[in-house]
Structure 1
Amino acid sequence: MLIDVSESMTRYRDPWLDARKREETIRALGGDPSVTRLTRLEQVLQLLSRREVALLERLRERHQVLLYTFGADVRPQALPRAGEPPAPLRIDPPPPDLASSTQIGTALERVLADTAGQPLAGILLFSDGGQNLGPDPAVAAQRAAENHSPIFTIGLGDPHQPRDLAVANILTDEIVRKGDEVVVQVALRQRKYEGATVPLVLRLGHRELGRVEVRMEQELEVHSFSFVPEETGLFRLTAAVPVQRGETNRTNNVKTFNLRVIDKRLKILYIEGTPRWEYRYLKNAILRDKSVHFACLLTDGDLSSGGEGNVPIYGFPRDRKELFSYDLVILGDVPRNFFTRLDLENLAAFVEQRGGSLIVIAGENHMPWDYRNEKLAEVLPVLIPAFPEQRTFLAPFRIELTERGRNNPMLWLAADPAESERIWSQLPGLYWCGLTDGRKRGAEVLAVHPAIRKGAENELAPIFLHMNVGMGRVFMSMVDSTWQWRFATGDKYFYRFWAQIIRTMKPQELPGADAFTRITTDQNSYVLGQRVRITARLLTPNYQPVRDDFARAEVRRQQDGQIFPLRLEPVLGAAGTYSSEWQPPLPGDYRLSVYGYGGRKTEGLRDFNVEVASIELDDPALREQPLRQIAGSSGGSYVPLTEVASLPERLRDASQRFQSRLEHELWDTPLALILFSLLLVGEWVLRKWKGLL
């Protein structure tokens, strides 16, 4: 028997908008309407304690009963011993870490593991069905079916959703540079507050960054803020809306986000073949930002002049150490013969291993055509055709954003997404684009040609693409004339477009980290009960992947200094990359460190926080359909509360009878030997007496 003790079962009280379910609950618990004011767990305990049901006592007449409670974890509970007088079942209030989530799949897997090799008549599951973390219960239900162990699910609660307003997410870069513009998107989610206008406030620490009135027209509304950080350090962004009348969950109206501001100048390397117009305007745009270290190289120019940036360069960096010192590399229409094979290998490693960013701008002569079957092609997001294919148009075409492109701040030309989309629709058209054999799997197409289709999938030809490659990222443009957007609007949209591309593509650098060591987590913030996915990338001083059997890391809880050592295992197919999962035991702020090459410890590589936020109360309604699916997949059934008393008759008799033979050696038994000896002596005496001897 499994009883759900998650927060939605132990703290939440249903609004009972469903009259049918309310009446069913009242009848099942004896007819007193006051039972609807109980928590769901209290209703389960009252139901099991009713004499008319006597479920535990009747089950124990024919079965051995195991009782578990579950939420974020599974915990066995003691039952009175057989023969003891029946007493009402009691379950103590669960601790916050146990109640923080509902993991039905974990609970079912635990029961199947504990009873492996034993006949299991069935599993009784009392829950509201609100699975929100952990493995899919459908997998465990299938295993139960294979073991002929049906699952009977009993649903608790009101299936209607309560009213709720929540800060759903904060989206921004986790590491930003002092003096750069930072764009923050805040998503609000509402349920049954359509048309309401609510004040949204964004703060950085105690400083208010912005306040806006948001009208809730859709289920999800997104608003953008922007600011320029003036101090370095670790800060907490907080987005908040006031609690609304009628809200049942008052814990999700505030959300936080860890933001680190660093004082490090961005270092860019731009390599171009000839001084085409795209190069001229983009180079000037980058030079306008005096905070950027900018090395700029024309391959058909005089390399001895030191280039055209604000940092001198006299040729492509020939060793990894020099190349890896850059944050971002821009490749234009550069001929293949400018690079050695080692240069291209280093460029690929710059993205995959160093975690650098690469921006590639196609051209009419060389890029990407010259690089088919080269190492560089492995990190590009497009499939390069065997022969160059490009189109020059008599009439201009206008770039068309995909759904992903419209929702990606990288391509927003205004703070308001709707206004940005209007601007895109009015930009001057272009006359040339390069064509490929389509995108690679894993590449994100942000913009397309409105009419030309290419590739095996016959998709619209990609114009702007983005792809994560190893530890780094690649952005590719298949047009070379975005400078034409300057007509009628000046530099405004051309500069904004490329500034946002460069800002978004900036690699995340952390204080205490270096080019040899990086450790990341899959999220910035977690709810207590969630597992943290940790990934480390380790290089030797020669920029080669570390190939140790495992890597060591540690997590420090900032509030009390507790240290938790971790062992990271190698990731198959990703040399120098190690990974592990860890579940924080307590809420608080945590800091990750890792031991790199030669056991050298790098401090403070990653900060994240763990909150006792209520994902349980975000969506507390009874999920009857998933419970029916779990039961049906296992060969069991969904049981209404009014039919719980019939459960003992539904369970099959899983007991098994065995016959065994016990053999004893008589000669090893003294009594048998004495009896046998007396029998022989008696026969001899009888024969002697009768004269037969």
Structure 2
Amino acid sequence: MMARLRDIWKDIGDFFVPTGEPGVEVTRSHTWPWAPSVTVLLLAGAAALVIYLYARERGSAGRVLKSLLAALRIALIALVLFMMHGWLLNRHRTDLPDLLLLVDDSQSMTLEDVYEDSARRDALLRRLERVGLDGLNRLNLAKLLLLEDDARLLRELRSRYHVKLYQLGGTARAAAVSPSDPRPASSSDMLPVDDLASAVAAIEARETSSRLGTGLREVLELQRGRPTAAALVLTDGVTTEGQTLGDVGEYARRTGVPLLLVGLGNDRPPRDLRISDLLVDQAVFVGDLLNFDFRLSGSGYEGRQVNVRLKQIDGPESSRVLADQSVRVGRDGEPQSLRLSHRPEVEGEFEYAVEVDILEGDSNPDNNRQTRRVNVRDETLRVLYVQDYPNYDFRFLKSALGRVLKRDGQEKAIQLTTVLQEADLEYAAIDATAERVFPVSREQLFAYDVLIFGDVDPSLLSRSVQENIAAFVEQRGGGMIVLAGPRHTPLAYRDTPLARLMPIELETVSLPPADALLDQPIRVQPTRLISASPPLQLERTIADSMRIWRELPPIYWMLDAPDLRPGARVLAVAPMRTSVSGEELPVIAMQFVGAGKVVLHTTDESYRWARHPQTEGYHARYWTQLIRYLSRSKLLEGTRAVELATDRVEYRRGETVRLRVRFFDDRLAPEADDGVRVMLEHDSGTRRQITLRRDAASRGIFEGLASNLADGAYRAWVAVPTLPDTPPSQRFTVVAPPGEFARLEMDAADMQLAAKASQGRFFTMEDAHELTEHLPRGRQVRIDSLPPESIWNSPLWALLFVALITTEWLLRKRVGLV
């Protein structure tokens, strides 16, 4: 009796909610000859009549009770109409729809991802241990989803679908039941769950490439004509060749197969901090500010605070931190340009290292450090200072340079020679630095490293001497500092050989009126080129140097030089003094002329920086650094002059090669901003020329990109300009598409794209338990039909009819309507 009631109740349930069972399709039919609209009209008419009659009933019944009675009567009429339809429940045996189960077996599935949450990692390890799996790799996670809880997910899939198991790697292949049982787990036969579980457990990640999209499309094409509910793909989503999963998403939608993708692994790149592109001068003077410029990039550590340090590996300061800086790591893959500075105090050749903290989980600690060798020299520089009259700048600068000593405190670091045109003949005998006349011969002038050219009377310099000065800069490569003055320099040299040395256009230069009241202070402010201008770096950091420049006493006299010559650079300006066009007027400008450099001061009042005890040291530091900067070529004699480098030595096909040429001696750099060309020669003999362009902040650095290079080995060398010695060269290779470990992070973005395009869904390990709730029913193919079950004459409807009419009668009797 109870079994019969359960069957009746099940039939009624299937009638109203026709879900059916796996392999069974449920439909409804009736024998009522009239159209549904007639039934609706009959029911509506009957309901209206019932409501009308009850509204006119007289008695003690209120509106609420009458409404209830009318509802009961309408329900009775509806029940009668339902039974008159002769409803039948039809069941049809069907073939289960296919479910494609694809498991990625490429080698990237052997990776074990780093889990920041140790509790989550421990929980996964415990689950794997219960299933008998060893290792937290991606393939084991796929097996865990399918096999845990006695293969619960596989059993549910097997009960609802015809499961076809494929391995997806370099190709899509039907998985074998086991190594000893070659039966394919994708055959049309319904394999037992235990066989499917054995096939899953036997999968090994050995494929050396991932052609995920291509393989998936091949499987979908094999399914043409077969009812397929969905394709369930367990993968890390990383494609190394062919179409990606995202490329196949639209095709899957057109074939009516939604893609359900379970992403395995971490979608963030492996955590890594990297120091790269370390640049530093290869030779400096003792006491010079030595800048180490480099890039810090990271992945997986965004927002973390780390320390970068500069250390000396050998020498008296070995292992000691010379400079450090706390840095917040930027976005993944976005490099930050950083600088650490140090003033070496000991002469010698030393190796320095720039390094960053090694954080937990760093996948490649070896790239957290880069080293460079630097030659620190303590040379004596010969400086010639010529001036017409002994102004304040002459006196203070002469005194400051005379006090600069080498680190031993015994010898002078600058051997200063002065020529004062207005001085008496006896002056040379009194002052040890003084010479009576300016050097007449080139040999005498070329013996100096730097020439300080103050306010000099051109009438006391012959044209041949002026030609020698020009040759000193252009040919010898000497450094020249020009100090503007109210009498001669630079206006008096408009039509002389020295005019071409000036960084400014002399035709538009103007002096303050001779009777002008010079009571307006003029602050000197470095431009953005301070980072590439060692003379202006008065402290270790750019921020501190800028602060010092703001604190220096102001000047009161300067000439207006609104127009620069092509190629000239402005190192410092007067922010409150502008040209007609609104640009700030230069105070310090520099120009490369031939093999040498010329620095111009449009003022002769730098002495004011030395008149205050707090800034006196910075006056001497600025001038010492300026002279040493102009004498760098002295240190580079006998060393390599040019370097060619690439950012890596191996590239994957399609990647861009970044080339950098650096002229250690800025004087050797070509004047044109695109004056460097690098020749690339493939091992097959084909050649390609790449034009490099000058870096905006450094005259001696040129950079360029080479793209779309074929596979193979390459040799690159500097083709232009022509160098006196063998041009520097660099070798690198371009290799075929990468193997399985080129990209280590899960490609969640591509899988999400595939799921959206196919109208499927993307899951991770965290929400994979919801997978069965989103599996589509699929299209079922009928095999045969079972005898129909009559629903209209079920005894439940008779019981319901009796219950309704009895309830109505009792309520009517209670209120006196019977």
Which TM-score band (shorter chain)? 0.5 to 0.7
Map of 1:272 onto structure 2: 387
CA shift for structure 1 position 240: 1.6
Q: Which amino acid aligns with 2:550?
A: S
Q: Say whether the 8 Å CA contact 2:276–2:295 is kept in structure 1.
A: yes
TM score, norm. by length of structure 2: 0.47
- Equivalent residue of 1:194, what SS? coil
Secondary structure in structure 1 of the residue aligned to 2:218: coil
User: Residue type of the partner of 2:538?
Assistant: L
State the 1:279 CA deviation.
0.9
How many residues align? The count is: 482
Post-superposition offset of 1:181: 3.9
**Residue number in structure 1 paired with 2:401:** 286
SS of equivalent to 2:572: strand
Give the corresponding residue for 1:466: 590
For 2:439, give the aligned amino acid: F
Distance 1:532 1:369, change over 3 A: same
1:318 equivalent in alignment to 2:484: no
Question: Cα distance, 1:176 vs. partner?
Answer: 2.0
Q: Tell me the residue number matched to 1:106.
A: none
Q: Given residue 558 of structure 2, which amino acid in structure 1 is its aligned partner?
A: C
CA shift at 1:476, angstroms? 1.6
How far off is 1:212 after superposition? 4.8
Task: Name which of structure 1's ranges 261-270 and 287-296 shifts more when overlaid on structure 2.
Answer: 261-270
Report the equivalent of 1:238.
353
Q: Is the 8 A contact 1:352 1:469 kept in 2?
A: yes
Label 1:256 to 1:355 Cα distance change in 2 as closer, same or farther (>3 A). farther
Q: 1:455 to 1:382 in 2, by over 3 A?
A: farther
Query: In the alignment, what sits opposite 1:691?
Result: none
Specify the alignment match of 2:550 in structure 1: 425
Question: What TM-score, normalized to structure 1?
Answer: 0.54
In the other structure, the counterpart of 1:184 is 291
- Hey, what does 1:214 align to over in structure 2? 325
Decide whether the 8 Å contact of 1:345 with 1:375 is kept in 2. yes
Once the two structures are superposed, residues 585-615 of structure 1 have per-residue CA deviations (whole angstroms, 9 ceiling, x without a partner) of: 999xxx99xxx99xxx989x99999999xxx
1:404 to 529, 532, 557: 529
Structure 2 residue matching 1:208: 3-state secondary structure = coil
Q: Structure 2 vs 1, CA of residues 182 and 387 (structure 1 numbering), >3 Å: closer, same or farther? A: closer
Q: Which has the higher helix share?
A: 2
Amino acid at match of 1:291: A
How big is the shift at 1:277? 0.6
Per the TM alignment, residue 398 of structure 1 is displaced from its structure 2 partner at its CA by 1.7
Q: For residues 470-516 of structure 1, what are the alpha-carbon distances to aligned partners after superposition, in whole Å with 9 as ceiling and x for unaligned?
A: 332222211211211233325222112212222222232357649xx
Q: Does 1:205 align with 2:322?
A: no
Whole-Å Cα distance in 1 between the matches of residues 564 and 113 of structure 2? Answer: 49
Relative to 1, partners in 2 of residues 1:310 and 1:164: Cα closer, same or farther, differing over 3 Å?
A: farther
Amino acid at match of 2:555: L
Question: 1:173 is aligned with what amino acid?
Answer: D
Q: Secondary structure at the match of 2:518?
A: strand
Q: Deviations over 1:121-150 (max 9, x none)?
A: xxx999xxxxxxxxxxxxxxxxxxxxxxxx
201 and 413 in structure 1: CA distance in 2 versus 1, 3 angstrom threshold: closer
Aligned to 1:257: 372
What CA deviation, in whole Å up to 9, does each residue of 1:342-398 have, x standing for no partner? Answer: 333333333333322221111111111112243323232222235632376313222
Note if contact 1:362-1:480 (Cα within 8 Å) is conserved in structure 2: yes
Q: Distance in 2 between matches of 1:611 and 1:405?
A: 37
Distance in 1 between residues matched to 2:352 and 2:559, nearest whole Å: 42
Q: Are the equivalent residues in 1 in contact too, given 2:527–2:571 (CA < 8 A)?
A: yes
Given that 1:190 and 1:216 are in contact with CA atoms closer than 8 Å, whether structure 2 keeps it comes out as no
| Greater CA drift, 289-298 or 249-258 | 249-258
Tell me what 2:275 maps to. 167
Alpha-carbon distance between aligned partners in 2 of 1:257 and 1:231, rounded to the nearest angstrom: 14
- Equivalent residue, structure 1, for 2:570: 445
From 277, 291, 303, the equivalent of 1:194 is: 303
- What SS does the aligned partner of 2:365 have? coil
Counterpart Cα distance in 2 of 1:214 and 1:366 = 48
Contact 1:258/1:607 (CA < 8 Å) preserved in 2?
A: no
Q: Structure 1 residues 485, 512: CA separation in 2 closer, same or farther (over 3 Å shift)?
A: closer
Q: 3-state SS of the aligned residue for 1:173?
A: coil
Give 1:330's match in structure 2, choosing from 452, 461, 465: 452
Task: Give the 3 Å change call, closer, same or farther, for CA 401–184 of structure 1 in structure 2.
Answer: closer
Q: How many angstroms apart in 2 are the aligned matches of 1:619 and 1:366?
A: 67
1:151-176 superposed Cα distances (whole Å, 9 cap, x missing partner): xxxxxx99977655343555543222
The CA RMSD over aligned residues, in Å, is: 6.2
Whole-Å separation in 2 of the counterparts to 1:417 and 1:536: 22
Residue equivalent to 2:125: none
Q: Which runs of 5+ in 1 are unaligned?
A: 1-8, 18-25, 56-89, 93-123, 127-156, 540-570, 572-578, 624-639, 646-693
Q: Distance in 2 between matches of 1:510 and 1:406?
A: 21
Deviations 1:269-315 (A, max 9, x none): 21112111111111111112313232221122247865856485742
Tell me the CA shift for residue 334 of structure 1: 1.0
Contact 1:243 1:250 in 2 (8 A): yes
Give the match for residue 494 of structure 2.
Answer: 372
- Structure 1 position 332, deviation (Å): 0.8
Find the aligned partners of 1:302 and 1:355 in 2 and give their Cα distance.
32
Q: Which amino acid aligns with 1:421?
A: M
Could you say which residue in structure 1 is the equivalent of 2:634?
509
Deviation at 1:13, TM superposition (A): 10
* Closer, same or farther: CA 484–212 of 1 in aligned 2, 3 Å: closer
Report Cα offsets for 1:540-588 as digits up to 9, x if no partner. xxxxxxxxxxxxxxxxxxxxxxxxxxxxxxx9xxxxxxx9x9x9x999x
- 1:180–1:222 distance in 2 versus 1, CA, 3 Å: closer
Residue of structure 2 equivalent to 1:497: 622
Whole-angstrom CA distance in 2 between matches of 1:161 and 1:467 = 46
TM-fit CA distance, 1:433: 0.8
Letter in 1 for 2:401: I
- SS for the counterpart of 2:507 is coil
The change in CA–CA distance for 1:50 and 1:454 in structure 2 (over 3 A counts) is: same
Structure 1 contact 186–239 (Cα < 8 Å) conserved: no
Aligned twin of 1:345: 467
Paired residues of 1:390 and 1:433 also in contact (CA < 8 A): yes
SS at match of 2:498: helix
The verdict on how the C-alpha distance between 1:427 and 1:311 changes in structure 2, with shifts beyond 3 A counting, is closer
Per the alignment, residue 27 of structure 2 pairs with none
Match of 1:389, SS state, is coil
How far apart in 1 are the matches of 2:505 and 2:424? 33
Uncovered stretches (5+) of structure 2, i.e. residues with no partner: 1-107, 117-137, 147-167, 170-203, 222-238, 245-264, 331-335, 405-411, 650-656, 668-691, 693-701, 707-711, 748-752, 759-818
2:484 alignment partner AA: A
- Structure 1 residue matching 2:540: 3-state secondary structure: coil
Partners of 1:31 and 1:511 in 2: CA distance? 64
Classify 1:198/1:461 alpha carbon distance in 2 versus 1 (closer, same or farther; 3 Å): same
- Counterpart secondary structure, 2:464: helix
Percent of aligned pairs with the same amino acid: 24
1:176-220 deviations in whole A, cap 9, x for unaligned? Answer: 23x444433455635545351425142143623534553214754
Counterpart of 2:695 in structure 1 is none
CA contact 1:334–1:367 (8 Å) conserved in 2: yes
Match of residue 385, structure 1, among 500, 507, 530: 507
Question: 3-state SS of the aligned residue for 1:480?
Answer: coil
Residues of 2 paired with 1:479 and 1:425: CA distance?
17
The residue type paired with residue 362 of structure 1 is: A
Decide which of 405, 425, 434 is 2:559's aligned counterpart. Answer: 434
Partner deviation per Cα, 1:423-474 (whole Å, 9 max, x = no partner): 2222222111111132233322222112221265x31111112233333222
Shift in alpha-carbon separation, 1:346–1:49, aligned structure 2, 3 A: farther
Q: How far apart are the structure 1 equivalents of 2:533 and 2:754?
A: 48
Per the alignment, in what secondary structure is the counterpart of residue 448 of structure 2? coil
- Checking the alignment, whether the CA contact within 8 Å between 1:210 and 1:225 is kept in structure 2 is no
